Amino acid sequence: MSDDDPPITVYRLQGCPFCERVVRKLNDLGLPYESRFVEAWHSRRDVVKRVSGKRSVPAIVDERTGITMSESGNIVEYLDATYGDRRERAAGPA
């Protein structure tokens, strides 16, 4: 909502395992993100459709790269490919 919001927004359902998988990956990579919760009813996912073109969750919007993406497998792959070296960097030299 404010200017200092994290660049990654996750559209998610409470307790949805695929969403949790994405959230785990974000946490593993130390990436800040903002959660927007929608509901399981497809009729209650208009915002996700508008943002990503599909009603499926999880979906992420990454303002840093301009990428919007659905499906947890794709998202995890994307996060690894884009930010995968972050954890090593954050940990610093051994």
Partner 1 sequence: MAFDVTELPDTDHVAAGEQAPDFERPLVDREFWEDATLSDLLADAPVLLVFHTMDGDFPATYVWQELDDRDWEDEYGVQLVGLSISTPYEHSRFLEEHDLDYPLFSDPANGVAEEYGIVHDLDGMAGLSEPRISTFLIDGDRTVRHAWVSEEWPEFPDYDELESALEEL
Residues forming the site for partner 1 (CB under 8 A): 1-2, 11, 34-39, 44, 46-47
Q: How far is CA 58 from the centre of its chain?
A: 7
Between 16 and 86, whose beta carbon lies closer to partner 1? 16
What whole-number distance in Å separates Cα of residue 30 and Cα of residue 64? 15
Type and span of the H or E element at 57: none
CB of 42 or CB of 44, closer to partner 1: 44
Q: Give me 88's structure tokens.
A: 């090593």
Cβ atoms within 10 Å, residue 93:
5
41 or 94: CB nearest partner 1: 41
CB closer to partner 1 out of 38 and 75: 38
Contacts of 29 (CB under 8 A, 6+ apart): 79, 80, 83, 84, 86, 87
Least Cβ distance, residue 30 to partner 1 (angstroms) = 19
* Closest distance to partner 1 from the beta carbon of 71 (Å): 19
Shortest Cβ 61–partner 1 spacing (Å): 12
